[in-house]
């Protein structure tokens, strides 16, 4: 039997990033945790520049998980403030760079200033086309799947959807961002080897890359190099 040719990746359309290591970076330097997060915002700016330079079309970053609510209240407030600050201060630059911003997750629990600033950022960049930057905020991969399953159950019970018509496409249409392509490459900084409840449905055949550097040290060149490493891999998709 002939061996099926492997699929050689070229450029990843969609890169996802778990931005890990902000707190460890700060503590290892004897700095407040807030400084780690502040530097992390700078790393996100660099990642956007790197994605544009590498020709990536979609960049999805894990900004705030549902588990983050269990952290110290002062840290949660800091993260809310950073969301609002990022949305306000980065708007002009993202518009110049032709970057559209989307939200993946449920930010209804966020503070009013954060919700307002993020909403304006999404609206003001909606027509941009060079890169889509998705911020995964108050996000949980398991919660996303449960939410989609519950919506399907309600529709089946109401008689507007037949159980026989429930397939992968039906579930995908009920995810937070149904038109979002699956990530080709997932980058995790901080050296750990886990996906941390991030895009569980979408990561089925994603290439994984773990970097030992902490997120605040992540630079534009790191994303470009990651894309280059992706190009050297052979994707099999189960074949």
Please identify which of the residues 20, 134, 184, 222 carries the catalytic annotation.
Answer: 20
Nearest Cα to Cα of residue 54 among 8, 19, 98, 10: 10
Q: Is 68 a catalytic residue?
A: yes
Task: From the candidates 22, 68, 184, 217, give the one annotated as an active-site residue.
Answer: 68
DSSP 95-119: HHTTEEEEEES-GGGS-HHHHHHHH
Residue 84 Cα distances to 58, 110, 212, angstroms: 22, 10, 29
Q: Has 138 been annotated as catalytic?
A: no
Question: Beta partners for 133?
Answer: 59, 101
Cα torsion 32, 37, 38, 43 to 10°: value is 140
Catalytic residues: 20, 68
């Amino acid at each position: 039997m002939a061996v099926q040719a492997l699929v050689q990746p070229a450029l990843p359309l969609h890169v996802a990033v778990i931005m890990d290591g902000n707190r460890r970076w700060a503590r290892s330097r004897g700095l407040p945790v807030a400084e780690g997060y502040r530097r992390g915002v700078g790393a996100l700016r660099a990642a956007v520049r790197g994605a544009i330079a590498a020709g990536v079309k979609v960049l999805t970053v894990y900004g705030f998980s549902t588990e983050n609510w269990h952290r110290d209240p002062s840290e949660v407030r800091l993260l809310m403030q950073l969301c609002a600050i990022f949305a306000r201060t980065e708007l002009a630059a993202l518009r110049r760079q032709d970057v559209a911003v989307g939200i993946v997750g449920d930010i209804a629990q966020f503070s009013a200033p954060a919700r307002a600033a993020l909403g304006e950022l999404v609206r003001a960049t909606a027509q941009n086309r060079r890169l889509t930057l998705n911020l995964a905020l108050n996000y949980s991969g398991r919660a996303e799947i449960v939410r989609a399953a519950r919506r399907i159950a309600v529709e089946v019970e109401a008689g507007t959807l037949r159980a026989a018509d429930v397939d992968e496409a039906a579930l995908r249409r009920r995810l937070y961002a149904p038109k979002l392509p699956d990530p080709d490459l997932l980058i995790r900084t901080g050296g750990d080897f886990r996906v941390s409840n991030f895009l569980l449905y979408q990561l089925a055949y994603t290439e994984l890359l773990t970097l030992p550097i902490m997120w605040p040290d992540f630079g534009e060149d790191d994303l470009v190099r990651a894309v280059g490493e992706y190009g050297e891999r052979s994707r099999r998709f189960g074949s």
